[in-house]
């Protein structure tokens, strides 16, 4: 192996490790994103003091994150206190999917939230589900942060 080849290989290894570090930093939380789930509070409204109205999802995912489950437990406690209230769970998707599939995934996200509320004692006849697919984004940006805010299930008072 001649010198120039060794230098070239060393350079490639250096380059590769730089790329890897870059990837690793991206995967970490960037303040408002964990993985690609939104963790900020930009669009979040409150049903009552300390009870956020929405939970967020990863791309193509409908399972609840740890943070989402915590939010929903707070919602369940608030709903138990306000037993006359009914709610609509509005499921949403980001703009990076086909319209019809997004309607289905919005419905599935809202139902993930519904199922969790039910396990915390909220009767299914107090909850209705409405999917908007990608029709009602809360953030009009075309970037990963905007998309993460739009992948959501929002709990709305029905009466």
Partner 1 sequence: MLFRYFFILLIIIPIKAIALIEVDITRGNLSPLPVAVSPLSIDDNSKENFKKILKKENLGLEISMIVENNLRQSGLFNPLNKDAFLQKPDIANLKPRFEDWNLIKAQALITGKVTFVDEKLRVEFRLWDVLAGKEMMALAFTTVPSNWRRVGHIITDKVYERLTGEKGYFDTRIIYVSEEGPKTNRIKKLAIMDQDGFNNKFLTLGNELVLTPRFSPTNQMVTYLSYFRNLPRVYLLDIETGMQEVVGDFPGMTFAPRFSPDGKKIIMSFAKDGNSDIYTMDLENRIVERITNHPSIDTSPSYSPDGKHITFNSDRSKYQQIYTMDSNGKNVKRISFGNGIYGTPVWSPRGDLIAFTKLHKGKFYIGVMRTDGTGERLLTENFYQEAPSWSPNGRVLIFYRETKTNSKGEGFSAKLWSIDLTGYNEKMVETKTDASDPSWSSLLSN
Q: Is 112 in the site for partner 1 (CB under 8 A)?
A: yes
Single residue of 44, 77, 120, 139 touching partner 1 by CB under 8 A = 139
Say how far apart CA 85 and CA 27 lie, in whole Å. 40
Q: Name which of 77 and 138 has its Cβ closer to partner 1.
A: 138
Give whichever of 29 and 98 is closer to partner 1, judged by the CB atom. 98
Q: Note whether 30 binds partner 1 by CB under 8 A.
A: no
Residue 157 binds partner 1 (CB under 8 A): no
Q: Cα–Cα distance between 81 and 151 in angstroms, integer?
A: 28
146: Cβ–Cβ under 8 A, 6 or more apart, which residues? 94, 137, 139, 140
Which one of 44, 67, 77, 138 is in contact with partner 1 (CB under 8 A)?
138
Cα(159)–Cα(86) distance, integer angstroms = 6
Residue 131 touches partner 1, criterion: CB under 8 A? yes
- Does 142 interact with partner 1 (rule: CB under 8 A)? yes
Using the rule CB under 8 A, which residue among 44, 58, 77, 130 binds partner 1? 130
Comparison of 2 and 100: residue with beta carbon closer to partner 1: 100
Cα–Cα separations (whole angstroms), residue 35 to 47, 54, 63, 65, 159: 27, 18, 14, 11, 36
Q: Which is nearer to partner 1, 61 or 77 (by Cβ)?
A: 61
CA 7 to chain centre: 45
Residue numbers of the site for partner 1 (CB under 8 A)? Answer: 60, 62, 95-101, 103-105, 107-108, 110-112, 115, 130-132, 135-143, 146
């Amino acid at each position: 192996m001649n010198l120039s080849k060794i230098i070239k290989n060393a350079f490639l290894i250096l380059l590769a490790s730089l790329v890897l570090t870059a990837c690793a930093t991206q995967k970490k939380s960037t303040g408002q994103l964990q993985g690609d789930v939104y963790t900020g509070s930009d669009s979040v409204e409150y049903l009552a003091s300390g009870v956020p109205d929405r939970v967020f999802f990863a791309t193509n995912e409908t399972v609840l994150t740890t943070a989402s489950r915590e939010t929903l437990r707070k919602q369940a406690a608030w709903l138990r206190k306000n037993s006359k209230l009914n709610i609509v769970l509005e499921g949403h998707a980001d703009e990076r999917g086909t319209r019809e599939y997004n309607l289905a995934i919005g419905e599935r996200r809202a139902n993930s939230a519904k199922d969790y509320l039910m396990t915390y004692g909220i009767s299914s006849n107090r909850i209705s589900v409405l999917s908007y697919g990608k029709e009602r984004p809360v953030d009009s940006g075309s970037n990963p942060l905007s998309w993460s805010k739009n992948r959501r299930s929002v709990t709305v008072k029905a009466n």
